[in-house]
Structure 1
Amino acid sequence: MSIRSGRRLSAVAVTVATVTGTSALAPAASAKTPEPTPSTSVTPLSAAGNGSVTILKKDPDGVVLAGATFTLLDSTGKQADSGTTNAEGQLAFQDLAPGVYRLKEVASGSPLYEVVDDQDVIVTPGADTPLTITDPFEAAKVLLQAKDDKTGKLLSGATVNIGTGDSTLLTMTTGAKGTASGELPVSSRKTQFWVKEIKAPAGYKLYSPSKSFTAGPGTPVTVTVTNSKAVTGSTSPVPTQKPTAQPTSTAPMTGDSAAPSESPTGHTAMDTGSSPAAGVSREATPKTQAGSLAHTGTDATPWLLGGAGLLVAGGIAIVVAARTRRSDRDENSTPSNG
């Protein structure tokens, strides 16, 4: 009851002061505090002194990314909040007590992107902390092969550099199976790379041309270099035996009247149609072909030599006899002096 009367008296005093203009009652009117007008921009009393964090998620090309999941941990490692970016790539953590938090990207929301490293975020009283996070592209999966350019055989020991522009991004060497694998960082959805061999496999020439290829984020790509064998000497084949001027065939040569034949006794028969001298020449130098098989049976060489000697001796005797007869005729035909 006393509270209600207190309120009535106060109201009467305000009325009197207004009508009479008496300054003595003015202080009673100023003691009344007007109620604040509600506003949506004013932070609720329950969040007074707290702050917030707003995330904008993009890729290296500037495209906003939806579906990325983040977790916010307080200074004790306890989860303070978590959420996923919307279609505009945004996520807000509100009503956070001031302090240092740890922001962790749990998932990128796409196989084309990698998550960023954890980072610290400072929340200040009554303020919003904006963060723009750019997820890098997922690295391309590279398979290197070195092959023989003729047979296609995989070769070990080939070393190549792979890069873009003036930068070398990856160095690979083929192993025992002739292959090597690695991850190649990409900066766009389609990135142009070059590959150059800096060391050839043992026994092979260096693959001097520089090849180029295109790779995308998270996609596998195969790079192949081919090597030709190094020349160690003359390429002409080395003969396995000395060439012979004579044919290896045992058939009679064209133009011969007949080949010597063996008699039933094993002696070489003479060609009766040829002169003795021709017979001697033919038998003394038999045309034995190189590479022919050896004859079987009795060797006729001694008989041939003996026959040749008899023929020579008979020829000499005939010549001597002819000269003797010529001399006798000359003597008989000479006239006597008497």
Structure 2
Amino acid sequence: MTARFVRSATALAVAAAGTLTWAPTVSAEPYEPTPSASAAPVQTPAPDAGTIEITTKDPAGDALPGAEFLLLDSLGQEAGRGQSDAQGKLTFPDLALGIYRLKETASGSRLHEVVPDQDVIVTPGATTRLSIVDPFKAANVLVQAKDDKTGKLLAGSTVNIGSGDKTLLTLTTGSGGTASGKLPVNTSTGSVFWVKQIKAPAGYHIYESSKEFKAKPGDPVTVTVTHARTATSPPPTEKPSGKPAEKPTAKPTPSQHGADENVPTASVSRTPAADETAPSTAVPAPAGSLAHTGADATPWLIGGAAALTAAGAGALVLARRRRTDNASDGGSTAS
């Protein structure tokens, strides 16, 4: 039965040979070259391909989805681009051997900063794994120093700002009474900092030694320090010391104008005669005056006349005494 079926099939094939002989030829041609043609582009680069795998997170260890990266080859051409997934992962596969530049173009979060660019080496058949930690944005701190009574902004106030036992910033207020800086924040809810005054403005002393404040990532925060005026500061009227001493405080001396009007001169005190007048002898002729006219001899003449008068008076008194003595002697003889 089987032999009879084979012979029938053979006869049928031979009978139809005129129309079916081309079919095996057509079906065999695409079948034989297909494996070599399709395998060439897939298998050729496989031994030289490498992979870069990125994991993004923040300082707290939480994954950062949506972070955007750009990969450039050694010629600066784009070799890949993508975003991290919900687990913070991103992969660049099938990379040729070489050095690539990885750029983070966005962190995917308003609270985080991007990291600086970095070079990545790709080796054949290996996966290069990178852990990218995007820091929280720094807080912007503004320090202002004020008078505790008037609220006036003060220059020259120096403060330290830190966290824990570390000093992070040292700021000194300028002419406008303010100073600014950036503070690193380690959590999404913010960090606690302390501010301590270490130097007061001129004429003031430190009013508050230290106090605390909280700052969140990327947020501005204003810190106000106050100073009390020192009690020992000199009043404004005492600043020009030494100048009041230059003003005359003593009474006018006889050499000054008008002082000799009330002071008797030596010539007046020596004149015994009543008819002598002070104006003629009070003031001697100053050096450099007009030529002498003979009036300078007047004091000598007056003095001589006074001496003669005194001598005559003395002689008269003496003569009277002698007469009295003689009279007394004659009387005694007559008796």
- Please give the alpha-carbon distance, in whole angstroms, between the structure 1 residues aligned to 2:231 and 2:221: 32
Matching residue's letter, 2:43: L
SS in structure 1 opposite 2:53?
A: strand
In structure 2, the residue matched to 1:210 is 210
1:45 lines up with 2:43 in the alignment: yes
- Please give the alpha-carbon distance, in whole angstroms, between the structure 1 residues aligned to 2:234 and 2:73: 77
- Please give the alpha-carbon distance, in whole angstroms, between the structure 2 residues aligned to 1:132 and 1:47: 27
Matching residue's letter, 1:199: K
- Please give the alpha-carbon distance, in whole angstroms, between the structure 2 residues aligned to 1:121 and 1:233: 64
Which stretches in structure 2 are left out of the alignment for 5+ residues? 1-20, 25-34, 36-40, 236-335
SS in structure 1 opposite 2:232?
A: coil
Conservation of the 8 A alpha-carbon contact between 2:140 and 2:181: yes
1:96 lines up with 2:62 in the alignment: no
How high is the TM-score relative to the length of structure 1? 0.55
Following TM superposition, the consecutive aligned residue runs of length 4 or more in structure 1 with deviations greater than 3 angstroms are: none
Aligned-residue offset at 1:208: 4.4
In structure 1, the residue matched to 2:198 is 198
Matching residue's letter, 2:221: V
SS in structure 1 opposite 2:206?
A: coil
- Please give the alpha-carbon distance, in whole angstroms, between the structure 1 residues aligned to 2:218 and 2:78: 31
- Please give the alpha-carbon distance, in whole angstroms, between the structure 2 residues aligned to 1:173 and 1:196: 12
In structure 1, the residue matched to 2:153 is 154
- Please give the alpha-carbon distance, in whole angstroms, between the structure 2 residues aligned to 1:169 and 1:228: 26
- Please give the alpha-carbon distance, in whole angstroms, between the structure 2 residues aligned to 1:201 and 1:164: 25
SS in structure 2 opposite 1:205?
A: strand
| Matched ranges for 1:157-172 at <5 A | 157-172=156-171
SS in structure 2 opposite 1:100?
A: strand
CA 1:141 to 1:82, structure 2 compared with 1: closer, same or farther past 3 Å? same
1:134 lines up with 2:133 in the alignment: yes
Conservation of the 8 A alpha-carbon contact between 2:208 and 2:226: no
| Matched ranges for 1:269-284 at <5 A | none
Conservation of the 8 A alpha-carbon contact between 2:208 and 2:225: no
Aligned-residue offset at 1:207: 3.4
- Please give the alpha-carbon distance, in whole angstroms, between the structure 2 residues aligned to 1:90 and 1:53: 11
How large is the RMSD of aligned CA atoms in angstroms? 2.4
Conservation of the 8 A alpha-carbon contact between 2:203 and 2:233: no
In structure 2, the residue matched to 1:231 is 231
In structure 2, the residue matched to 1:257 is none
SS in structure 1 opposite 2:93?
A: strand
The structure richer in helix per residue is 2
How high is the TM-score relative to the length of structure 2? 0.56
Matching residue's letter, 1:45: Q
Aligned-residue offset at 1:86: 1.4
- Please give the alpha-carbon distance, in whole angstroms, between the structure 1 residues aligned to 2:168 and 2:99: 36
Matching residue's letter, 1:151: T
Aligned-residue offset at 1:70: 0.7
Identity %: 61
Matching residue's letter, 2:232: T
- Please give the alpha-carbon distance, in whole angstroms, between the structure 2 residues aligned to 1:163 and 1:90: 35
SS in structure 2 opposite 1:228?
A: strand
- Please give the alpha-carbon distance, in whole angstroms, between the structure 2 residues aligned to 1:123 and 1:193: 43
1:114 lines up with 2:110 in the alignment: no
